[in-house]
Amino acid sequence: MQKTTKDKTYRSAFIAASLIIVAIIVGATLLYIRATNNNMDQAVNTLSSFYMEELLGKREVVLKDALNRDFELLGRVVALIGTKEIQDQASLRKVLLFSQTLYGAKKLAMVDEDNTIYTAHSTFSDASRYAFLQKDFTEPRIVTSNLYGAKKQVVLAIPVEGIRVLGKRIIACFIQLDIDDVAGSLTSDNVNSSGKVFIGLYYKNGENLTTSKFDEIDSKQNLIKFIQKALLLAGQDSSKIGTSFHKGEKGLVTIKSADDIKYIYYSPVENTDWMLTVMVHDNTIADQLGNISRRILQRNVFQLISTMVFLIAMFLLIGSLYKRNGDIRRRHQELQIKARNEREQKMRLEEIATMAKAANMAKTNFLNSMSHDIRTPMNAIIGYTAMAKRYSDNSKVEDYLGKIDVSGRQLLSLVNQVLEMSRIESGKIVLSEEPADLVEKANAVRTIIAADCNMKNISFTIDTSGIVHKDVIQDVSRVNQIISNILGNAVKYTPEGGSISCTAVEKPWDKEGYGLYEIMVKDTGIGMSDEFLKHIFEEFSREKTSTISRIQGTGLGMSIVKKLVDLMGGDIDIQSTPGQGTVVTVSIPMKWDDVSRRRETEAQNLEAVDFRGKRLLLVEDNEMNREIASDILMESGFVVETAEDGLIAVEKVSNSVDSGKPGYYDVILMDIQMPRMNGFEATQAIRAILVAQDVHVPIIALSANAFEEDRQKSLEAGMDDHVAKPIDVQKLKETLAKYLRH
């Protein structure tokens, strides 16, 4: 009886406390709602300013991006022409027409130092409409003018250096746009469901740039005068509007009319004398405020209900303690939540892993495709250059062809490294350590860099006298890329009349049979700040100065250099002073090569093989590549037959078996990517035909697919070896000799 009375007392106390707390919460919520309603006017003003600033900010970004794209287009056109003398006006017009077609540019033109204007279709000397393009024109410029009557035109121009036409210096490249086209991107989504949001472009004197109305304001009406004559809400001074516009300040104006209230927000456009304006009617603000008010009310109701539910749950929990099972229930809930969280986390991790795998596969496919597509024309360039050198009897032409050959191979090396950047980051790249002559490679780099230095009148020296063991085993193509990147930066950022030196020195290394090769590049260029040096190895990093901003670059060069040096177990150090120059020192350990013994062995191997009369089947779908490879092979003594794809190759081998000559071909060179039947499928089919005859014919892949995994795929498909394009004649002969020696 006593226990029952005690339980009833506790229960009554719980109920009373619950009612008191609920009453307090309900009262507080009602007071909060009342206070919110009392501050509605302040909320309207705050929301109006925030909402309009957000609207205008988005349009500012759109306009800035559009102008930046046009400036970038001009930069591409200038870069496409390069630094050279154009012999006649017609040639320049052809270049401009090609640029218009390539980049989709309209009204593209150039002006020379005599104010002659060149377009894709004509040349004229009356440059009075473009008076702003004077000889002292040194910075990118945006100008608005009535060039052709009432409709205003926007001219975006950049200065040009190094291009001449008939001895006259080109000083500027510009593009001319209708102001309505420029403003068109701002009006694509200006009007909301109520039709009360408008965007305009005005000069700082209040004149409309476009031919479009700004709400009911006519295109010819001055916005400042309109605002000054309008009825403004209390606290606003109409006399200050003009001053604010002229100074290019941001501002908000509230105008009261007979029907509603209009909010006008204005802001200057960077690097122009324009003001971007937005007008919003009060019903639009009211709609936004209504949405927020509804969300606030819903949140308050949700908080009230949640609190009541929480209190009831608390009292039930306290009551459950009397039944001695509260701990069990809580523990059960915790385990359920933990299990659910673990399941959700596992699902998220699986989704992330799937996405990462798909992204990695897509990246790999892209790189493989790019490697093949770039190497195919490079094979033609290098191959035809080599053929032209053999048939040329002009020493000067031979010299030019030699430089083209060196440059082509250097370009191929750079392309390879850029395409393998992702492999460096993922740790999948494998260094191709091969015998090489460092001094010979340095001379190849000298040829390319010296040509660039001559164009800028820069003194360039390279000293390899400090190298004792010039024959090493290392991935020298990547060493070349490292040095070429550093020297390329030195040329790019060293002004005319400066100097660049490259010194290579061999130092002792603590591992037997190795040397530490230190390459130092020193220039008298513009230098770098200490702050930028902290970030120089970060991807896409470039120092933000007016000088560098006019020099094209991706900001990837030093990042690639750092990763390659680290991969080779080396070190890199950079010392630089703004205005005085930069010193870059790279130290890489390299293994010495017993070159005399190796070359003697290679010579013996080549001499031991006579290719004359050997029958070779060349499977290649590209006509130019077939012609190049056929000429090289026939000069070595091979009897060459060709097949345009894998299916034809299989038919030729099958016909040789049917005619009783299963060993008709001594060797087969097989391309990989071909129509109808690729190289892998053709190899497997040929192997199936010949295995029944107990005959093995060497099949060697000759493909633009040049990554290590491509070599592995060739071997897995049944091929004996893999040679990458562009064709290295010496390497191809060595590979053929290895399989035709017996």
Can you give the pLDDT at residue 666? 94
What is the residue type of 303?
Q
Q: Which range, 116-125, 297-306, 408-417, 637-646, has the best average confidence (pLDDT)?
A: 637-646
Task: Give one DSSP letter per residue of 183-238, joined into a string.
Answer: HHTTSTT---TTS-EEEEEEETTS-BSSSS-BTTB-TTS-HHHHHHHS-BPTT--G
> Mean per-residue pLDDT for 649-675?
91
- In this model, does residue 53 exceed pLDDT 70? yes
Which residue ranges form the domains of the chain, and what is each CATH number? 82-177 (3.30.450.20), 187-282 (3.30.450.20), 433-598 (3.30.565.10), 607-740 (3.40.50.2300)
- Say which range, 47-51, 432-436, 616-620, has the weakest mean pLDDT: 47-51
Cα separation, 739 vs 666, in Å, equals 9
Mean of pLDDT over the chain: 77
Q: Which range, 192-201, 421-430, 700-709, has the best average confidence (pLDDT)?
A: 700-709
State the pTM of this model. Answer: 0.38
> Which pLDDT tens digit goes with each residue over 496-538?
999 999 999 999 998 888 999 999 999 999 888 888 888 888 7
> Mean per-residue pLDDT for 202-209?
82
For 173-203, letters b (16+ CB in 10 Å) and e give bbbbbbbbebbeebbeeeeeeeebbbbbbbb
- In this model, does residue 701 exceed pLDDT 80? yes
Cα separation, 459 vs 450, in Å, equals 9
> Mean per-residue pLDDT for 416-428?
57
Cα separation, 376 vs 705, in Å, equals 9
- Name which residue leads in pLDDT, 378 or 589: 589
Query: What percent of the chain has a predicted confidence (pLDDT) above 90?
Result: 16
> Mean per-residue pLDDT for 403-407?
66
- In this model, does residue 359 exceed pLDDT 80? no
> Which pLDDT tens digit goes with each residue over 534-553?
888 876 555 555 445 455 44
- Whole-angstrom CA distances from 692 to 685, 689, 695 are 12, 6, 8
Q: Which pLDDT band, with edges at 50, 70 and 90, does 71 fall under?
A: confident
Can you give the pLDDT at residue 515? 93
User: Residue 175's closest CA among 228, 290, 96?
Assistant: 96
- Whole-angstrom CA distances from 77 to 2, 38, 80, 160, 244 are 99, 61, 5, 11, 39
Between strands 85-86 and 164-165, the pairing is parallel
Neighbours of 576 (CB within 10 A): 19
> Mean per-residue pLDDT for 138-152?
71
- In this model, does residue 662 exceed pLDDT 60? yes
- In this model, does residue 361 exceed pLDDT 80? no
Q: Which range, 77-86, 89-98, 576-585, has the best average confidence (pLDDT)?
A: 576-585
> Which pLDDT tens digit goes with each residue over 117-129?
888 888 877 666 6
> Which pLDDT tens digit goes with each residue over 651-661?
999 999 989 88
Q: If you search the block for the tokens 């509605």, which residue do you land on?
A: 40
> Which pLDDT tens digit goes with each residue over 262-304?
888 888 888 788 888 888 877 766 666 566 656 666 666 676 6
- Name which residue leads in pLDDT, 547 or 594: 594
Cα separation, 73 vs 664, in Å, equals 58
Q: Which pLDDT band, with edges at 50, 70 and 90, does 93 fall under?
A: confident
The sign of the CA dihedral 241, 245, 247, 251 is positive
- Name which residue leads in pLDDT, 466 or 88: 466
